Amino acid sequence: MTKSIRTAFALAALSLSAPSLAQTGPKPVSRADFLKDIDNRFAAADTNKDGAVAKAELVTLQQKELQQAKVGLNQQLQARFRQLDTNKNGALSLQEFAALAPVMRTAETPDQLLKTLDSNGDGKISNAEFRAPQLAKFNNVDANRDGIATPEEMRKAATGK
Per-residue pLDDT of 110-150, as tens digits, reads 999 999 999 999 999 999 999 999 999 999 999 999 999 99
Domain ranges of the chain: 3-159
End-to-end CA distance of the chain: 23
Instruction: Look up the pTM and report it.
Output: 0.50
Contacts of 29 (CB under 8 A, 6+ apart): 13, 14, 16, 17, 148, 149, 154
CA 135/CA 127 separation, integer angstroms: 12
pLDDT one-digit tens code per residue, 79-120: 887 777 767 787 777 766 776 778 888 889 999 999 999 999
- Superfamily of 3-159 according to CATH: EF-hand (1.10.238.10)
